[in-house]
Amino acid sequence: MPLIDESARGFYVISATPFGDDGAVDWASTDRLMDFYLECGVDGVTILGIMGEAQKLSQEESAAFVTRVMRRIRTRVPVVVGVTSAGLRLAGDLARHAMDLGAAGIMVAGNGPLRTDDQIYAYIEDMIAELGPEIPVVLQDYPQTTNVIFSPSLLNRIFNDFSTVKILKHEEAPGLRKISKLRAAEASGARRRRISILVGNGAVHMMQELARGADGAMTGFAYPEALVEVIRRWFAGDREAAEDLYDAYLPVIRHENQLGFGLALRKETLRRRGIIVSARTRAPGPALDADDQAELTHLLQRMERAKARLGISLPPLQLAGQ
């Protein structure tokens, strides 16, 4: 499988990590989830991100999850592995394990009490030194969770100085102007190379981010086939059709985009779709009560009616494992 590079485009789904009701990793659901993502036509799969509850897995569980996913996906789409850790050596060990199994790259985020540009730059410099010159990197910019803020000028400095950083996972909100500033720096020659920008935040701002110059999304959603098709239509030049399709799913996208709670909604929808057995998040984590379940049912029913009004009919999915 080729490694990720600056040309990355499309929809890279952020994978959930399935757990059983006992809190253990559910390996059968993991296989089924990977089959599902492939059937949806995703351009890549990212595992062990924040929404993959990576911070709740042991180092041994993380390594085992990478092994299971790589064996299931093989070389059919690029797999990016989140390796952010409290220790650089721990991150490096997981990164090397993933790359040895055929991963296409790794993802890192700001970590720890990093406040100034110089502190953040030094952390990235140390991380790149730990990873070495051969491992391509997705840099996650998600200050709402990490409390680490990458200014546009700092990002341009990092992109100029560290050639292994290939993709920006852009999740600052509000962050539309940041995308415009980064693209302007490329156009002016202030930065020496173009970087792929894939956006997150559950795709809640994705249409505006695409218009500002994003190359696609790297995020989670319980209906990944929809975002695959939205982005495909956008880059095919049919932007009105892309927005019409997006609008049908937007209430569910917005509902999933609740910081600290959206993952429980996403997992429950995946459970209802027959992909995973349990909607369990690993403790401490959220769970849906009766009111939450009723709200989700209401929104999913409205989504189906909106799709029918618009004549939206995506191809049915037939999981490879079924």
Give the pairing of strands 105-109 and 196-199. unpaired
pLDDT tens for 64-92 read 999 999 999 999 999 999 999 989 999 99
CA gap 171, 173 in Å, rounded = 6
CA gap 247, 252 in Å, rounded = 10
Backbone angles phi, psi at 3, to 5 degrees: -80, 155
**Residue 249 domain-assigned (yes or no):** yes
Question: What pLDDT was estimated at residue 322?
Answer: 39
Spans of the chain below 50 pLDDT: 320-322
Question: What pLDDT was estimated at residue 202?
Answer: 96
**DSSP 3-state of 121:** helix
CA gap 204, 246 in Å, rounded = 10
**Residue 3 domain-assigned (yes or no):** no
How many domains does one find in the chain?
Answer: 1
Give residue 169's Cα distance to chain centre.
8
**Residue 258 domain-assigned (yes or no):** yes
Identify the CATH number of the domain in which residue 26 sits. Answer: 3.20.20.70
Backbone angles phi, psi at 196, to 5 degrees: -70, 135
CA gap 312, 306 in Å, rounded = 8
Domain extent, residue 286, equals 10-310
**Residue 241 domain-assigned (yes or no):** yes
Q: CA dihedral in degrees (111, 114, 116, 122; nearest 10)?
A: -60
**Residue 322 domain-assigned (yes or no):** no
What residues have CB less than 8 Å from 97, skipping those under 6 apart?
63, 66, 67
Cis peptide before 133 (omega within 30 of 0): no
> DSSP labels for 257-269?
--TTTHHHHHHHH
**Residue 277 domain-assigned (yes or no):** yes
DSSP 269: H
DSSP 222: S
Question: What pLDDT was estimated at residue 316?
Answer: 65
pLDDT tens for 214-253 read 999 999 999 999 999 999 999 999 999 999 999 999 999 9
